[in-house]
């Protein structure tokens, strides 16, 4: 038997392993050219004996998240407490959905579906897999574990319920409302009985499902629920409007929505949509929007600071001038991160899975097909090119 095992180990299949490798640290906005698609790597589909607790996974979906911007910049150390900086010449990593191909970890076995931090490559060896979540519910699209049922979903849940404590009838404003987190915040707030308005920017000069310059089919997004995963893809390319305002109002159930790029002034827009003021602001963008929101908050309002995506690529951030509103309106402005709420994941699933099954929650994804289109999808996040959660499809199950 020992001999046979040894023979099997020796015979472990070796496959090609396409990878997204960091070529340059980004300066300002991340560019496609900051990455290389490396096609000549290989991977043995066996966890090496030297990796006592490793798992080897086949990646299905990768998640394009704003925080990746920081790990791609040389100068910023803001997030080093939570993440390791990417190294030049190495494969980048991020949240993703994958299947275990081989495991030396007692918690995981071959065939398990997992989500968590993995590599931007076809196969990944994960040396410390303790932070991976095992996927127990597969009657939902697996891609949702990069969004609705993954880090963005738990972020929306923690930020809205733990930070903002919404009450029925309160007025809630969500920026980047068609994004991975925003669309869920709005729906969770609606389920709580709040009045919800979202802002989003329209996708510019871009037709749904069109082939872009870099040749990839950018938009294959879908609306849950769908009969099966394969149907989902077919469906996604055919039917959904790409206008985020229409999407927010007519697909996601927001009470109202506006395109911030079409407004003469943000203060005036907010006064129009919130004549009585805002109780809760779920902040994803920062900059001028935050400054305008401060002027329109109500007494004892809460602002959950989830992201400041408009500021991430600026050399110097924009100034915030209406700080006095925090004092005069006795506001609470609170930064948070999903890491504070990981212990709530089971409770979150208990809330959200029945809502998904009852078709009371819709989730919009923007799926870029193929690992080689990953860099463009990630870059697009910072110009607001995506509508819905930006995902990269690496392989189908």
Contact yes or no for 164/282 (Cβ under 8 A): yes
Closest CA to 55 of 115, 102, 91: 102
Residues 6+ apart with CB under 8 A from 343: none
Of residues 227 and 327, the one with the C-beta less far from its own copies: 327
- Give the Cα-Cα-Cα angle 351, 389, 301 (nearest 5 degrees): 60
In the numeric block, which tokens belong to residue 108? 């995981």
The answer for residues whose C-beta is within 8 angstroms of residue 190's C-beta and 6 or more apart is: 196, 253, 254, 255
* Spatial distance between the Cα atoms of 10 and 357, rounded to a whole number of angstroms: 45
CB of 87 to its own copies, least distance (A): 21
Residue choice 24, 267, 329, 353 for contact with its own copies (CB under 8 A)? 329
Q: Which is nearer to its own copies, 205 or 316 (CB)?
A: 316
What is the size of the binding site for its own copies (CB under 8 A)? 34
Structure tokens at 91: 């494969």
Residue 307 sits in the site that holds its own copies (CB under 8 A): yes
267 touches its own copies (CB under 8 A)? no
How is residue 237 written in tokens? 């390319």
Rounded Cα distance, 310 and 82, in Å: 21
Selected from 78, 90, 207, 230, the binder of its own copies by CB under 8 A is 78
From 173-181, 191-199, 239-247, 331-339, give the range in contact with its own copies by CB under 8 A: 331-339
To the nearest whole angstrom, how small is the minimum distance from the Cβ of residue 187 to its own copies? 23
Smallest CA-to-CA distance from 135 within 157, 160, 155, 118 is with 118
Listed ranges 260-268, 269-277, 314-322, 374-382: which one lies at the site for its own copies (CB under 8 A): 314-322
Residue 328 makes contact with its own copies by CB under 8 A:
yes
Using CB under 8 A as the binding rule, whether residue 74 contacts its own copies is answered as no
Using the 8-state DSSP alphabet, how is residue 68 labeled? H
Shortest approach of its own copies to residue 236 CB, angstroms? Answer: 32
Binding test (CB under 8 A) with its own copies, winner from 6, 9, 14, 299 = 299
Residues engaged in binding its own copies (CB under 8 A): 78-79, 81, 286, 290, 299, 305-308, 311, 316-337, 340
């Amino acid at each position: 038997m020992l001999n046979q095992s040894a023979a099997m180990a020796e015979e472990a299949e070796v496959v090609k392993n396409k990878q997204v490798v960091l070529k340059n640290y980004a300066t300002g906005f991340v560019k496609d050219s900051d990455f290389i698609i490396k096609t000549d790597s290989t991977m043995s589909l066996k966890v090496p004996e030297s990796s006592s607790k490793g798992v080897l996974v086949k990646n299905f979906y990768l998640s394009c998240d704003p925080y990746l911007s920081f790990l791609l910049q040389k100068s910023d150390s803001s997030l080093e407490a939570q993440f390791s900086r990417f190294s030049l010449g190495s494969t980048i990593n991020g949240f993703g959905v994958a299947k275990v191909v081989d495991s030396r970890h007692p918690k995981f076995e071959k065939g398990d579906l997992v989500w968590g931090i993995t590599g931007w490559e076809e196969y990944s060896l994960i040396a410390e897999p303790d932070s991976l979540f095992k996927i127990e519910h597969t009657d939902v699209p697996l891609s949702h574990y990069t969004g609705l049922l993954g880090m963005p979903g738990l972020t929306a849940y923690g930020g809205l319920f733990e930070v903002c404590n919404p009450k029925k009838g309160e007025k809630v404003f969500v920026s980047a409302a068609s994004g991975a987190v925003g669309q869920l915040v709005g729906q969770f707030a609606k389920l709580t009985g709040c009045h919800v308005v979202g802002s989003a920017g329209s996708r510019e000069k871009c037709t749904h499902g069109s082939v872009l310059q870099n040749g990839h089919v950018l938009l294959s997004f879908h609306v849950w629920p769908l009969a099966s995963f394969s149907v989902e893809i077919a469906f996604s390319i055919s039917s959904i409007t790409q206008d985020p305002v229409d999407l927010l109002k007519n697909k996601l159930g927001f009470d109202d929505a506006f395109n911030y790029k079409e407004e003469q002034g943000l203060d005036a827009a907010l006064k129009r949509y919130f004549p009585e003021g805002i109780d809760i602001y779920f902040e994803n963008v920062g900059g001028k929007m935050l400054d305008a929101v401060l002027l329109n908050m109500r007494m004892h309002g809460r602002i959950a600071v989830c992201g400041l995506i408009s500021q991430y690529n600026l050399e110097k951030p924009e100034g915030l001038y209406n700080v006095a509103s925090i004092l005069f309106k006795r506001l609470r402005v609170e930064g948070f991160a999903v890491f504070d709420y990981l212990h709530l994941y089971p409770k979150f699933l208990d809330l959200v899975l029945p809502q998904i099954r009852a078709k009371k929650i819709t989730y919009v994804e923007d799926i870029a097909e193929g690992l080689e289109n990953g860099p463009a999808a990630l870059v697009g996040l910072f110009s607001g090119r995506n509508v819905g959660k930006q995902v990269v499809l690496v392989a189908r199950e």
